Amino acid sequence: MSDLLQTLRLLVVSPDKDLSQWLISDLGALEEKDGTHTVEFSGTRFEMVLECDPTKLSSPSADILLGLIRFVDGVSLHLLGELFKVATAEKSCPAAVLVYRKELEGDFKMSCPFCGQKLWVRDADQDKRGRCPNCHKGFTLPGQEDHVAKALHLPPGISVRKAVQGDTSTLGAHLKQLLRVRADEINLRMAGDKTGLSSRQTMNVNLETGLIPPQGH
């Protein structure tokens, strides 16, 4: 291993321990020491820490946060949401959620937006009109990414991505994207330092008169 590489701490949170192990083997971890797995990729050394228990995530420090999920059922999404809440509570860092599945796992469970009936939806049917067999109401079928983003109430800065187990080039592309986001944020911060923006106090926002119409759901 070269010492010229930049080293970043990659915190991987997942309700599913096996999934984190898949990621490690797909990324070709070089070594493991005290629960930290080292991966070298794209001129960067990642020190990966895996966590699947929100109560153990008391004060995580991370340069990049990655949430992993395989089956986007309610329980898994709830657990991932809890992990994200703890992981992002203290400081913000570039983050993404990865739906990380086996090749043929192309469907997911969601609740009917009208009656709550649990429904299987195929990822290939994204954007088609579907009808709930229980309440007979129709709605546009979401893709997995949209479904996960909505269920986790993710802010716009956190993207949801998909990769199939064993597809290292897609995984690599996602990691590269997160590295770019991080580089952009550091550049922005440095630019802010130059203009003195970052040293200014936070101000109360002024309210304009007139009400903004509520957004439709």
Residues near Zn ion (CB under 5 A) are: 112, 114-115, 117, 132, 134-135
Beta carbon of residue 131, minimum distance to Zn ion (angstroms, whole number): 9
Nearest to 117 by CA among 138, 97, 133: 133
CB of 139 vs Zn ion, minimal distance in Å = 9
By C-beta, is 92 or 134 nearer to Zn ion? 134
In the complex, the smallest distance separating the C-beta of residue 130 from Zn ion, rounded to whole angstroms, is 10
Distance CA 68, CA 99 (A): 6
Helix (H) or strand (E) holding 11: strand 6-13
Question: Which residues face 46 on adjacent strands?
Answer: 8, 39
Query: Which of 24, 112 has the CB closer to Zn ion?
Result: 112
Minimum distance of Zn ion from residue 140's CB (angstroms): 14
Q: How far is the CB of 116 from Zn ion (least distance, A)?
A: 7
Residue number, 135 or 188, with CB nearest to Zn ion: 135
Handedness of CA 125, 119, 70, 94 (dihedral sign): positive
**Sign of the C-alpha dihedral, residues 88, 153, 186, 25?**
positive
The H or E element spanning position 122 is: strand 118-122
Q: How far is the CB of 113 from Zn ion (least distance, A)?
A: 8
Q: What are phi and psi of 101, to 5 degrees?
A: -130, 175
Q: Which of 123, 163, 165, 170 is nearest to 147 (CA)?
A: 123
Q: Which is nearer to Zn ion, 115 or 188 (CB)?
A: 115
The residue (of 29 and 112) whose beta carbon lies closer to Zn ion is 112
Q: Tell how far CA 189 is from the center of its chain.
A: 23
Query: What are the backbone angles phi and psi of residue 96, rounded to the nearest 5°?
Result: -150, 155
Q: Which is nearer to Zn ion, 106 or 130 (CB)?
A: 130
Distance from CA of residue 157 to its chain's centroid?
10
